[in-house]
Structure 1
């Protein structure tokens, strides 16, 4: 029969788990460098953002979105109905205001109070009370002088573009109570 000497027998060894894990520090540095390169390329080249949207990294990009919509409204202001453009601009202004100053500061305002708030918080000092009446009445008013409405809408869009383009400033004592 078959006999085995006891010294020739070896104990059973367990198979090692994953010998490649944990990664060596060099691999972690390589991954970090690749991630950093991808983020830089994504922020620099706008086409990457369209193909690979990263919502976590676009939290602060309300300015870019608002500027894009305002540019579209400016292009369409000569051709679209002033009522539709005024409604969309009014909604966009509310979203911009809430992004800049918070929902509690401006979401409940309407009518002349809304225009006064816009004038008080516009960093460029645009007179929304005098110029912004179109935002309040155009969506509900009967058709009027379309050319004049379009010119007024272009002025309002330009003022909104300037508001989006300026950096946020720290609220002063009078603004924090508004």
Structure 2
């Protein structure tokens, strides 16, 4: 077994790819995908944080929802990263690199009430949706229809998540508020 370090691919570089997307076009798509990868991981971490910290009468339902939504984000991030690699690029992966590339900001370490947390999530979902939607068009304009299709699938998951949060935030509920005297 060799103990010699061998750099196989330098981060930020793009090489020829088997899917035959021109390297210059691939660079543009990879940059967009890495932005969406970063945004998806920030969303993932925020959802996971809310999964850990949710409390209240709807704990079980919301705990499960946050967990499932975080898993969906993680799956989407994996698909995006694998597409970056297929296009000849290197998916971004370090925490500081993800943070610097993300068009969204993590809400921080503080714990908020569930309604505020979900409002923050809805805002983040909306920002990520806008980014991914723009990148669907970019990929297809550059002739990368497979990336466009992948991002459409991601977009559908994101829109479903945002729509579900919207329902959770409605003011109609069966939970009774405790009367104050």
Larger radius of gyration: 1
If the length of structure 1 is used for normalisation, what is the TM-score?
0.28
Per the normalisation by structure 2, the TM-score is: 0.28
